[in-house]
Chain A
Amino acid sequence: MSPPVVVGGLEKESSLNPWALPERGVSVYYGCPEMPRLSHYFLPRLLLSGKRILYLDGANQISPLLIARFARERRLEPSEFNKLIRVSRAFTCFQLMELVLRVPKILNSWSADALIVTALPDLFFDEDVRDHPARAAFEHALEGLEAIAQLPISSAVFSDANSFKTKRHDFFPKLSKQARHVFKVEARPDSELSFTSEKTAPLLSV
């Protein structure tokens, strides 16, 4: 079961089903706490239609048990879902940058229909990493995302960036600027989630 939702904002396609990722370009989901965990709820729809997913987990939040539960709730063996997902975790911003840059190479050996990235740019807020290398790595990751946006896959970034106190407050706006879609997800007092589309860009700009 997915959490109950309310949708709003600019985007027509998202208002039809908030748990469907836009088919092309990079989308950013942010807002409520535990966004990386929320990413799981986008998986069943994709998996049931046989779509393959590459999951780059910067938040170390991927839950194989939750994915197995989704499968069982649909009277499927967990292996049916598992065979369609590949996960790679990153524990530093440099690893996440490297993973994003390696996506085209990974897709050459294991083709995917959707890409999910968690904790971008959250991992780049690590205070143990000096500002200059963190910025450089983030810029490279954005370039990697730019390249991914040209690929025929659906890509979504799940970020908790707003819950951090950081001096690197320009990172998230940069990511949003580059994304084709930005969705704000908020928890409402009645336990519902609201999805507000804050940005949508045309496929071709004039």
Chain B
Amino acid sequence: MTLWLIDRNQARYRLTDDFAPAFFVSGSEEKLARLQDAARNQATDLRTLMTERTDLWLKAARPVLQVSVHSPIDFVSWGRWVHRFDSRLQLYNSDLMVASLYCWEKHLFPLAYVEVEADKEGKILAIERRDSEWALDYEMPPLKIMQIRLAGLSRIDPEHGRHAALEIEVDGTCWELDESGEPPSVGFARLVKREDPDVILSEWGDSTILPLLSQQAERLKFSLNLNREPGVAVQRSKPRSYTSYGRILFKASATTLFGRIHVDKQNSFISEKCDFAGLWELARVTKLPIQYAARTTTGTGISYMQMELAHRDGVLIPEQKAEPEDPKSPDELLLADRGGLVFVPKLGFTANVAELDFVSQFPSIMARFNISPETVNCPCCPDAPRIPELGYRICQKRSGITSRVVERLIAKRTALKKLQKTAEPLVALRFKLQRDSLKWLLVCCFGYTGYKNARFGKIEAHEAINAVARETLLVAKELAESRGFELVHALVDSLYVWREGATREEFERLATDIEELTNLPLAIESVYRYVVFLPSKQYADVPVLNRFFAVGEDGEVKVRGLECRRHDTPPLLSRMQHEVIPILAEAHDRESYLKKLEIARMVLADYEERLANGDVEIKDLVVSKRITREPRDYQKAGVTAIAAQQLFGSGVKLRPGQTVEYVYTDSESAVSNDRVRAFALWEGWHGYDRKKYKAMLREAFQPFELLIEEPAPQPMIVLRKFQRGEDWASTPLFAATAHDKS
């Protein structure tokens, strides 16, 4: 294994360490003996040992053959060798990332502060961690960061034909390289060598900048050495399109380095959302290699955290998810196979509404009630408390792997929140980004229990969590109603409640009571001066989820489902809405809202005038849409298809799931190709379609004018008398946890 370390003086050390990762094989005694013989006859250094490990689902020890591979680079290929040797043998721990396995074995993690003893050749004699991945405020290595990007609009994929100079920045000093002088690859190579950055932070570096620089260097017959590690080639992975939850998505190629970190902001969800602080936090807690952590899903992070715990417990980690659903009758399936509970919003303007949110509700349920794939319907606890509605049992004898993972994450997030409140602004921002990255881990840990490829997933765990969440929301609703509040909307883990003249203290008392009754943390997200729940765009009387705007007591605005929240909206529309909303936010009741609306209409008129006068920058009119098929496969001349085909015609290779950007030029033209122009191919003479953009502006303004008339009288709410200890709160599961709490 090769390790790169940096000391506090920014000196870098390349060290090596012996490491022989091991996988496990299960099968009949005879087959394992044959495998052991075959392993002994291999030229490579394989060590085998008969041992025992725990099978998570059987909850019992299982005899296995441990195969240690003394050349870590060949670890995965030896697993495949076993598969070819006998496909009936079951492999465990065989396809894990060697870097993570090394961290698990040596009790290390990426970016950890360590103490090392090494010999003259740089071989590690001893390495000790002086840091914890659960530390809140930790010292980061003094990383030298080089930023590279193309000049101009960063959101436009340069592969679509955007040509611009290469901008490079290190410690506030900037360079611009273009084709007018020496070739950019030559200048870039010189800068990399001279500055020797630890991190290259790029925009479009994965798919465009680094590959293009390398290709140019090849043409010029010199070696562009992006790695620090000598004699190793830069690693490139291929781009691919894939389907997830019914959507076609695109994963760009990756360009990763050795001895140096490359992060592409355009190809890294976590660094885009949470910046470096979030990425570092994620790499530390998941123990994934940083470049991999930057590009993978947070679900993989959660998986690796689970697998680490399993590894430490001596539990075998299967290669694939093979544990199927337990047989059920159709009516049991109908009952179990449901998601979160929703009460559709009351359309229109409602003043004085509080939003009560269960904090990290699904992870909290998993942690609080020990719901984990292996704890649901375990054979060891036939008399365990039952999950409401479904009757599933939860293990009382051991803590589940998933529950333990989320418990730690929730605890760290809560502690960071406390620190954030009292920290200096810059430090507080860092804590916030750390918390955000943990949030993304927590968000997907629930979904992963039902995800088809989650190794420790089990659909019953997913169903159990949903069932508890539904009951929790019902209890909260009934308690609120018993106190005279009206539920204006509820969505899985949040409730919007209203009562004439209710004070913040009364909302807080309600939140405390719900928290006490459900055993789950609940917080007041905000008390809104008013909320406007909007209808479906197609049907004016049909309420839809997540289409509303709300103004908090402090004037802060919460917007969901409007154009300014969407990625495909032209910036012009987003900007108009962002200007209008603060004006409306000044209103405190229906009457003042109507007055503010008049001022807001003047903003709209101003935008329309600028549009009509041609006083709008073209980049503000760009629409971005994801293509769902190859450009040639489109049958109808929709505007996205037209733009995709224009790009394809100009030599751009597009794959399903990629985004194309275009400008409406003449949306009603009989000639389909004239309706829009791909932004990368747009030239001044194409102009833009003023009528179309005006209509789009109007449509984006329309939600503010909807549903502001006086509401019809409210129907009488029939309250069900709710008493503490009634219903599910007294079922053994919750009674037991309430008892635990006391």
| Chains A and B are bound partners | yes
Nearest residue in B to A97 (C-beta to C-beta)? B322
Residues of chain A within 8 A (CB-CB) of B331 are 64, 68, 78-79, 82
Q: Which of A85, A102, A140 has most chain B Cβ within 10 Å? A: A85
B324 touches A99 (CB 8 A): yes
- Whether a CB of chain B sits under 8 angstroms from the CB of A133 is yes
Q: How many A-B residue contacts, CB cutoff 8 Å? A: 81
Task: Flag if A91 contacts B452 (CB, 8 Å).
Answer: yes
A86 touches B329 (CB 8 A): yes
Chain B residues with CB under 8 A of A54: 327
Which of B83-91, B476-484, B597-605 participates in binding chain A? B83-91
A94 to B323, CA, bound (A): 8
Is A98 close to B, CB under 8 A? yes
Chain B residues whose CB sits within 8 angstroms of the CB of A86 once the complex forms: 327-329
Check if B321 is an interface residue, CB within 8 A of chain A: yes
B333 within 8 A of A: yes
Q: What is the predominant secondary structure among interface residues of chain A facing chain B? A: helix
CB-based contact A87/B333 at 8 Å: yes
Which residue of A89, A94, A97, A129 contacts B459 across the interface (Cβ within 8 Å)?
A: A89
Instruction: Decide yes or no whether A116 CB sits under 8 A from chain B.
Output: no
Tally B residues with Cβ within 8 Å of A. 24
Note all chain B residues with C-beta closer than 8 A to A136: 83, 87-88
Residue of chain B at shortest CB distance from A129: B320
A83 within 8 A of B: yes
Query: From B242, which residue of chain A is reached at the shortest CB distance?
Result: A128
Would you list which residues of chain B between 325 and 344 have a CB under 8 Å from chain A?
A: 325-331, 333-334
Across the interface, A92 reaches (CB within 8 A) one of B83, B87, B452, namely B452
Q: A132: CB under 8 A from chain B?
A: yes
Judge whether A16 is part of the interface by a CB distance below 8 angstroms: no
Q: Is A1 close to B, CB under 8 A?
A: no
A203 at the interface (CB under 8 A from B): no
B132 is an interface residue with CB less than 8 A from chain A? no
**Set of chain B residues within 8 Å of A68, measured between Cβ atoms:** 330-331
Measured CB to CB, the nearest residue on chain B to A106 is B327
The verdict on B515 contacting chain A, using a C-beta distance below 8 Å, is no
User: What is the minimal beta-carbon distance from B501 to any residue of chain A, in angstroms?
Assistant: 45
Q: Compute how far the CA of A78 lies from the CA of B330 in the bound complex, rounded to whole angstroms.
A: 9
Out of B83, B328, B334, name the residue touching A88 (CB < 8 Å).
B328
Residues of chain B lying within 8 A (CB to CB) of residue A132? 80, 83-84, 87
B331 shortest CB reach to chain A, Å: 5
Please name all residues of chain B whose beta carbon is closer than 8 Å to the beta carbon of A106 when the two chains form the complex: 327
CB pair B330 A133 closer than 8 Å: no
Is the CB of B319 closer than 8 A to any CB of chain A? yes
CA distance A88 to B329 in the complex (A): 9
Report yes or no: A90 in contact with B327, Cβ–Cβ below 8 A: no
Give Cα distance in the complex from A85 to B334, angstroms.
Answer: 13
- Of all chain A residues, the one with the shortest Cβ separation from B321 is A92
Q: Which residues of B contact A (CB under 8 A)?
A: 80, 83-84, 87-88, 242, 319-331, 333-334, 452-453, 459
Can you list 10 contacts pairing A with B, beta carbon distance less than 8 Å? A64-B331, A68-B330, A86-B327, A86-B328, A87-B328, A90-B324, A92-B452, A94-B320, A95-B322, A102-B324
Closest 3 CB pairs of A and B: A64-B330, A136-B87, A91-B452
**A interface vs B, CB < 8 Å?**
54, 62, 64-65, 67-68, 78-79, 81-83, 85-92, 94-99, 102, 106, 110, 128-129, 132-133, 135-136, 139-140
**Besides the contacts A91-B321, A92-B322, A98-B324, what 6 more A-B pairs have beta carbons closer than 8 Å?**
A68-B331, A87-B329, A91-B459, A95-B322, A132-B84, A135-B87
